[in-house]
Amino acid sequence: MKTSRLLILVLSTAVLWSCSQKTAEEGRVPLLEVEGRFLYLDQVQDIIPPNVNAKDSTEIAGNFIRKWITDVLLYENAKRNITNKQEIDQLLEDYKKSLIIHQYQQKMIEQRVPKEPTEEDVRRFYDQYKDQLTLKENVVKGLLLVTPANAPQLANVRSWVQSGNANALEKIEKYSIQNAISYDYFGNEWTTFSEILRKLPLQVQDASAFVAGHRFYESSDSLRHYFLRIEAYKTYGQTEPYEMARPKIVNLILNKLKAEFITNFEDELYNDAIENETVNFFEQKKK
């Protein structure tokens, strides 16, 4: 069905183009030809999303075909009219050289640079630069449980959340399966407090003071009941916790290792070439 609609669409477009003596690829269905270049049915079919109606697929195909034709015409007209072909050829050659060098460097990096720094190196970096690793917002560990306003055993739930021990967490987990609207446990990883606030009917003027002053918070509205436990916190401006800083530190160390490897490799390549007399310097005659 899609193929027949596309064929009808393109045939109606193709009458604007004269017949061509060019030869299309064998085994492919050509739809039209411009300046010796063919647009094929499979190319148009590939850009049509599945399960779209006839009107939308026709519009998508029509826009694609018009853009394809325009691009070909612009490119061919540009080739006929530009005067700085030599400059463009040089730019293409420079780009090709840069691309080949880059891919070669990346291959060497994959083979010779560690995939990840040692934990000792990461910890050393953190200890050395922790004064520069400051939080841009408050972060917390804990849990947030949201239940319907009329959920059962709310008094027990309150007690479990306030306790936060392993036994209480197990009870909360089981309770949440049948009774909770949502249950977010972030006791093992730092989470931004702004993310937690988005899930609470709570307006906080001073977020730093709130996380520092509330180990437990409970609230409700007409539909839901909210239980928040803050197990640990770090406020804006404090040193970023190691767990949060670690991914950034890993990237910094790896980028440094890669840059050092490339520099050392280039130096080694140059020095070997000089030593082995691969490079021939010509003596310049004095005028």
Determine what percent of the chain is predicted with pLDDT higher than 90: 78
Does residue 188 form part of some domain? yes
* Chain segment 232-244, per-residue pLDDT in tens: 999 999 999 999 9
Does residue 95 form part of some domain? no
Structure tokens at 83: 């005067």
Does 140 lie in the same domain as 75?
no
**Cβ count within 10 A of residue 195:** 14
Contacts of 96 (CB under 8 A, 6+ apart): none
Give me the number of domains the chain comprises: 2
* Chain segment 151-210, per-residue pLDDT in tens: 999 999 999 999 999 999 999 999 999 999 999 999 999 999 999 999 999 999 999 999
Continuous segment of H or E residues that includes residue 139: strand 139-148
Does 70 lie in the same domain as 9?
yes
Does residue 160 form part of some domain? yes
Mean pLDDT of the chain: 90
Helix (H, G, I), strand (E, B) or coil at 201: coil
Q: Considering the entire predicted model, what is its pTM?
A: 0.66
Residue with tokens 């050395």: 128
Does residue 86 form part of some domain? no
Q: Please identify, among 234, 249, 272, the residue that sits at the C-terminal boundary of a domain.
A: 234
DSSP tag of 49: P
First to last CA, the chain: 80
Does residue 22 form part of some domain? yes
Does 216 lie in the same domain as 146?
yes
Closest residue by Cα to residue 197 from 208, 245, 150? 208
Does 207 lie in the same domain as 142?
yes
Does residue 74 form part of some domain? yes
Which residue stretches of 32-153 are H helix? 41-46, 54-81, 85-112, 119-129
Does 230 lie in the same domain as 143?
yes
User: Helix-strand-coil percent breakdown of the chain, rounded to 5?
Assistant: 55, 15, 30
Domain residue limits at 64: 2-81
pLDDT bracket for residue 270 (50, 70, 90)? very high
Q: Please identify, among 204, 234, 264, the residue that sits at the C-terminal boundary of a domain.
A: 234
Residue 267: pLDDT above 70?
A: yes
Contacts of 58 (CB under 8 A, 6+ apart): 5, 9
- Report, as an integer, the average pLDDT of 10-15: 49
pLDDT value at residue 8: 55
Q: Please identify, among 62, 81, 100, the residue that sits at the C-terminal boundary of a domain.
A: 81
Does residue 121 form part of some domain? no
Does 140 lie in the same domain as 61?
no
Does residue 127 form part of some domain? no
Residue 97: pLDDT above 90?
A: yes
Helix (H, G, I), strand (E, B) or coil at 32: strand
